Amino acid sequence: MVAKTKNAFGAWFLGCLLGVMALNSQASSTININTGKVAVDDRNSRTQRAATREALSQLLVKLTGQGDISGYQALQAIRDDANRYLRAYRYTEENGQLYFVAEFDRKQLESVLIRERLPIWGDRRPDALLWLAVENEQGERRIIDDGQTNDYTITARLQADVRGVPLTLPLMDLDDALRINAYDVWGLFPRQLNQAAARYNVDFVLGARVYRNRTREIVFPTPEPDAQPVEDGTQPIQVAESGAEPMATLSDTTSSAGDNTVQGALFTLPEGGVQQIDANSVSGEQNVNGISNEALSRLAASGFGSAEQTIEPVNEGPLFTQEEFSTLAARAKKGRYSLDFFYGPANGASSEVIHDTLIGDEPNELIAQLINRYADYLGQNYAILPTDADSEQLVELSVGNLHDLRGYVAVQQYLQALSVTESVTLVRQQGTVSTFGLRLLGSERDLRAVLSLDNRLQPLRDAFGQPLEGMHYFWSQ
């Protein structure tokens, strides 16, 4: 009976392994969240104390996944007692700049975060690729690649390191050049950029374009001398060379049936200006175009031409709609540059894509803001919010392909090191499959999200490629 059970279970497990081959596992990297690095001017004790607090703040940002930790009173208390968590420190010099590097007791810090029910983000983070296109003053656009050393690449790498998010730039070698160009990146089409990023095997794709806001305020020029106001004192409308307010067609400017007045009709003048006919001063019988004969006579008297000349309303319209112009003008007032961006899962649906626009005076500031927004997004999705003791969850997780004691120990240590688990125990062993009981600090969803960042534990799937019910995994090492 025992032999039959073992054979049946082994056959089931072997069949499930077929689905593992079709699994597209996510890529991720392990980052160092034990240390902080601060630029300093000297090595005196006062500078060291201040640098220690700043280095601990950097670590807390990485550990919690929160860009702004000023609102957490418990974290402020940790910063004030930074030396308590300091394990070692050293000084290093890079490119003529002195840095203070501090290493802290991560386990002790995590214990405080758990006690205070604050977010915790493990050291395994999803990989991402940044497609960045920039436009120079001449309107030329180019892709920023990994081989360049400029303000864009330095800022992106530095800010990604500060926030603890793995980020890379494309190589733009021959393979990339055959798949994508600057115009594709400038268009910010998620599908095309995701396809081009497939060779990098990343979890998330970011796309961004940086350009200068060239919108200027409208300057209304003085009308030409020939464009004189009409007799009753109505002033002509002054129109900017770069565009005018949207103008209605002639039929739109006339009154409704039964009304013999023309309400604010606009006409082209010889010098390209616009003359406004006061609705209160136009009366009398209208011609076939809806314009009164008296109005035509007055136009002729003002130098427009004979009354028989065809009068056409201005209908070319502005370069931008009023709404578009208002948006551009508002951007120009907020900052000199704009950065349009999107980010989302590399293989996710379009509904999961986040997009927005950042405005500022310096491109580097916008790049840093983009990395912060992306890091906050990851923190919200992957950081664990510990629950109280009464709400802790117990789940069972089975792991196959464990042929010896070394494999079993490796899996147990791996599970215990996860930020979402509080304790791990062996529930049962059946052949090469071990079932572990996990007491979670967060939810089962948090556990699945953390496991998805590492390909060492891959979920089992059936012959149709669908994941099995429950938590069944295959150990790949």
Higher per-residue confidence, 184 vs 234: 184
Higher per-residue confidence, 74 vs 292: 74
Domain extents for the chain?
A: 2-27+386-475, 32-115, 124-213+335-382, 216-320
Instruction: Return the structure tokens found at 45.
Output: 């004790």
- Confidence at residue 297, expressed as pLDDT on a 0 to 100 scale: 52
**Given a cut of 90, is residue 152 above it in pLDDT?**
yes
CATH 3.40.50 fits 124-213+335-382, yes or no: yes
Higher per-residue confidence, 384 vs 280: 384
**Given a cut of 70, is residue 59 above it in pLDDT?**
yes
**Given a cut of 60, is residue 7 above it in pLDDT?**
no
The b/e string for 329-365 (b: 16+ C-beta within 10 A; e otherwise) is bebbeebebbbbbbbbbbeeeeeebeeeebbbeebbe
The residue type at 199: R
User: 359: helix, coil or strand?
Assistant: strand
Tens of pLDDT, residue by residue over 218-274, are 444 455 555 455 554 444 444 444 333 443 333 343 344 444 443 433 333 334 344
CB 443 within 8 Å of CB 393 = yes
Tens of pLDDT, residue by residue over 371-410, are 999 999 999 999 998 877 666 789 999 999 999 999 999 9
Average pLDDT for residues 34-42, to the nearest whole number?
94
pLDDT band at residue 463, thresholds of 50, 70 and 90? confident
- Confidence at residue 325, expressed as pLDDT on a 0 to 100 scale: 55
Kindly report which listed range (94-108, 376-390, 438-452) carries the lowest average pLDDT score.
376-390
Tens of pLDDT, residue by residue over 18-35, are 444 434 445 689 999 999
* Contacts (Cβ under 8 Å, ≥6 apart) of 57: 36, 69, 79
Residues 18, 148: Cα–Cα separation, whole Å: 43
Q: Among residues of the chain, what percentage have pLDDT more than 90?
A: 54
Residues 159, 371: Cα–Cα separation, whole Å: 7
CA 349 from chain center: how many Å? 15
- Confidence at residue 274, expressed as pLDDT on a 0 to 100 scale: 41
> Average pLDDT of the chain?
78
pTM over 0.85: no
* Contacts (Cβ under 8 Å, ≥6 apart) of 394: 437, 438, 439, 440
- Confidence at residue 202, expressed as pLDDT on a 0 to 100 scale: 95
In DSSP terms, 441 is beta-bridged to none
Residue 99: phi and psi, rounded to 5, are -125, 145
Residues 359, 312: Cα–Cα separation, whole Å: 42
Helices 45-64 and 151-163, packing angle to 10 deg: 80
